[in-house]
Amino acid sequence: MSSQLISLVNTDRIIGKHVFGNLYDIDPKILNDKDFLHNLVLEAVKIANMKLVEIKSWNFGGKKGGVSVIALVEESHIALHTWTEYNYATLDVYTCGENSNPQAAFEYIVSQLKPKRYQMFYADRSSE
Amino acid sequence: MSSQLISLVNTDRIIGKHVFGNLYDIDPKILNDKDFLHNLVLEAVKIANMKLVEIKSWNFGGKKGGVSVIALVEESHIALHTWTEYNYATLDVYTCGENSNPQAAFEYIVSQLKPKRYQMFYADRSSE
C-alpha cells in the first residue's frame, strides 16, 4: 500500500523554496556597508547549500539610499535591499532543489543584521 | 476629523510592493529564448514605472536548464526564472515607490508568456 502511495508523488519536478521577509530597526552603519553586506550574502549562499553563479552589489545615495546585493544561484536568487535612513532591509532567499535550505540562510543573515523586529514568510515556488 | 486621521499615517517611509507567482504550461520554445525573455523584462521595467539600474540574463543547460533574467531597479528587482523541460517559470516583480505598478508588469509578462495556468501573490515590503 505504501509503495502505491509513493508512486503517486511526482518527484520529477522543480522544487522551489522562497523564504522572504522585512527586517526593522537595524543599526544604520551596517546597512550602508556594501562590503559587509556582499560577504554576508556570499556566506548565505553556502549556508543555503546553493551553487553561486554571480553576485553583485550596488550603493545608492540620497535620503532613500542604501545598498542592494543580488546573488544569482542555480537557478534562483538571493536579494538583499537596505535603506540606511529608515534602518530597514528586505531579504529574499529563493533556492531550488531538495537539498537547499533557504531558511538557514535567511536566519543567518538576520543573526548578523540583528533587526529589533522582523517578519518571515514562505512561498512554494515548485512546479507541479 | 478626517485631517486628524490623515496626520496619523506615516508617509515618510519606504513603500515596497512585491507581486510574485508561478506560471505553468508555457511553450518551451519561448522559455529557452534568452533574448526574448531579456527584452520582456526590460519592457516590464518600463511598465512598472521603475528606473533600471542593471539587467542581466543567463542560459542554463541540462535537464533542469532554462533562462534567468534579473533586473535591478531602484531599489528593488524583477526576477524571471524558466525551466524549459518543465514548461515552467517563476516571476517576481518587486518595486518601490507610490507610483510603481508591479502588478501591471507582472500581467504584461504573463500576457506574453501565455501560461495555461498561473498563480499570483502579493507581499507588502514597506517599512513601518
Interchain CB contact of A85 with B (< 8 Å)? no
Among B103, B90, B96, B91, CA closest to B73: B96
Confidence band, pLDDT 50/70/90 cuts, at residue A1 = very low
| Residue A99 or residue A106, greater confidence | A106
| Cell numbers at A67, concatenated | 545598498
- A60 and B66 in contact by Cβ < 8 A? no
| Cell numbers at B39, concatenated | 527584452
Closest chain B CA to residue A65: B75
Inter-axis angle of helices A34-47 and A102-113, nearest 10: 150
* Cβ(B124)–Cβ(B28) below 8 Å: no
Q: Write down the pLDDT at residue A63.
A: 87
Q: What residues of A are labeled active site?
A: 76, 81, 96
Nearest to B125 among A58, A66, A90 (CB): A90
Q: Kindly tell me the burial class for residue A119, based on how many C-beta atoms sit within 10 Å of its own C-beta (0-12, 13-18, 19 or more).
A: middle
Interchain CB contact of A122 with B (< 8 Å)? no
- Give ipTM to 2 decimals: 0.91
| Cell numbers at A107, concatenated | 536566519
Residues B125, A90: Cα–Cα separation, whole Å: 7
* Substitution target from A23, A31, A53, A72 for chain B, most B beta carbons within 10 A: A72
Answer left, alpha or beta for residue A108, where phi above 0 means left and psi between -120 and 50 means alpha. Answer: alpha
* B111 among known catalytic residues: no
Interchain CB contact of A66 with B (< 8 Å)? yes
Q: Kindly tell me the burial class for residue A76, based on how many C-beta atoms sit within 10 Å of its own C-beta (0-12, 13-18, 19 or more).
A: buried
Kindly name the residue from B3, B7, B38, B96 that is annotated as catalytic: B96
Residues B93, A54: Cα–Cα separation, whole Å: 20
Q: How many CB atoms lie within 10 A of CB B38?
A: 18
Residues A72, A49: Cα–Cα separation, whole Å: 13
- B72 and A70 in contact by Cβ < 8 A? yes
- Write the single-letter amino acid at A54: E
- B92 and A90 in contact by Cβ < 8 A? no
Q: Write down the pLDDT at residue A4.
A: 52
Among B25, B40, B41, CA closest to B84: B25
Could you give the percent of chain A with pLDDT greater than 90? 84
Residues B114, A99: Cα–Cα separation, whole Å: 31
Could you give the percent of chain B with pLDDT greater than 90? 84
The domains found in chain A, sorted by start residue, are 17-95+110-124 (3.60.90.10)
The pLDDT of A107-118, averaged and rounded, is: 98
Confidence band, pLDDT 50/70/90 cuts, at residue B1 = very low
Bridge partners, residue B122, by sequence: B19
Q: Write down the pLDDT at residue A70.
A: 98
Answer whether residue A96 shows pLDDT above 90. yes
Q: What is the pLDDT of residues B43-73, one digit of tens each?
A: 999 999 999 999 999 999 988 899 999 999 9
Nearest to A75 among B81, B124, B125 (CB): B81
* Cβ(B95)–Cβ(B124) below 8 Å: no
DSSP H helices in chain B = 2-7, 28-31, 34-47, 102-113
